[in-house]
């Protein structure tokens, strides 16, 4: 590639790499630019490679993914904690509520970024070559 913008039209888009970049909240194309300008609001375009990021359609999938993962990890631990240690309701609430909230808020932008990366890799929605 000798053109000055190596990201203009990549021939092959690696979905594992773009999902990984999105999970790290980076642009799925270059992996350097920030994906978000806020907690969950994607930038209109990448600061590094000028990829138009407005074409994603993550919709409701990131919350579903987040709930599925966090629920399957935290709920069995909470139930095991209850079964083996029989803690009071207050201590269960004090322990598991912050863990649930922190895990959810940590994972939600990452699952959305991974989904945006997957959409970019498969040229879905606004990420098609002719979009
Ligand atoms: Zn970029």
The neighbouring-strand residues paired with 52 are 45
Cα separation of 78 and 40, whole Å? 28
CA of 58 to the centre of ligand 1 (A): 18
Confidence class for position 129, pLDDT limits 50, 70, 90: confident
Question: Residue 68 Cα, ligand 1 centroid: separation in angstroms?
Answer: 29
- Tens digits of per-residue pLDDT, 29-64? 999 999 999 999 999 999 999 989 988 888 899 999
pTM for this one? 0.84
**8 Å CB contact between 95 and 81:** yes
Residue 53 CA to ligand 1 center (angstroms) comes to 9
Taking only the tens place, the pLDDT of each residue in 71-84 is 999 999 999 999 99
Q: How many residues does the chain have?
A: 131
């Amino acid at each position: 590639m000798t053109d000055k913008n190596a990201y203009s039209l990549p021939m092959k888009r690696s979905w594992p790499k773009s999902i990984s970049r999105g999970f790290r909240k980076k642009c799925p194309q270059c992996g350097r630019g920030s994906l978000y300008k806020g907690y969950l609001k994607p930038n209109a375009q990448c600061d590094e490679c000028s990829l138009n990021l407005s074409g994603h359609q993550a919709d409701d999938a990131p919350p579903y993914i987040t709930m599925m993962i966090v629920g399957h990890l935290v709920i069995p631990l909470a139930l095991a904690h209850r079964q083996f240690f029989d803690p009071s309701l207050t201590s269960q609430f004090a322990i598991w509520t912050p863990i649930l909230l922190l895990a959810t808020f940590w994972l939600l932008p990452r699952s959305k970024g991974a989904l945006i990366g997957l959409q970019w890799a498969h040229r879905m929605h606004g990420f098609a070559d002719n979009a």
